[in-house]
Amino acid sequence: MAACSSGLGCGYCRGVRRILLASSIALALAPPPAPAIAQEPCPRCIEPSTARADSKLRVDHPTTRAVWNPPPRLLSEGDGRFHVTDSPSVVVYDGITQPGFVCRAPEVEPGRYLVALFGGSEGDGRYTWDFVQLEAGLPDEAADDGLPGWAVAIAIAAGLLIAAAAALMLRSRRQPSA
């Protein structure tokens, strides 16, 4: 019989193998997780309801996880019919319960998508949902996404004028007066 490579004796190795075998059998026989319980739809929880890919969306519902186009296995029976088959499911928020937060619409094809909002006061066992109609095109500009292009151009022009004025002043000081 071969020597035990663990150095702890063959009895130890047999015990570990038994535990691993029992755990594997228990996991194989365990039922799959049940789908979450649906609450009422929340028709104005996500604004705007029509957006473009990468646009900011405001969610006004206590949420721990928001899933764009969730797979049918996560939803109660019947709600899976809203899953867009050729489009991915995307977790757009996953964190502490927030009564309101901002997320971005994922880069997916235009269409009508269900967004499941899990959590709130019941934890992740329940969800509500809203729909977002995604349109083709570039994302809408948000007010806090920086300065518009014309403001940047004016700032650059003003900087160039100030630099030119400073250069003229320095040049006039260096030239001897007549």
Residue 3, helix vs strand vs coil: coil
Neighbours of 170 (CB within 10 A): 9
* CATH number 1.10.40.30 given to 37-135: no
Kindly provide the b/e burial profile for residues 34-70, where b requires at least 16 CB atoms within 10 angstroms of the residue's own CB: ebbebeeebeebbeeeebebebbbebbbbbbbbbbbb
Domain boundaries, the chain: 37-135
Give the model confidence (pLDDT) of 82-104 as tens digits: 888 889 999 999 888 877 889 99
List the chain pLDDT tens, one digit each, 178 residues: 455 665 555 666 676 667 766 666 655 555 444 445 556 778 888 999 899 999 999 998 888 889 999 988 888 776 778 888 889 999 999 888 877 889 999 999 999 999 988 875 555 567 888 999 999 877 655 444 455 666 677 778 888 888 888 888 888 777 666 5
Q: What is the DSSP string of 60-109?
A: -S-EEEEEES--GGGS-TTGGGG--TTS--EEEEEEEEESSEEEE--S--
pLDDT tens per residue across span 110-126: 999 999 888 755 555 67
Distance CA 105, CA 23 (A): 41
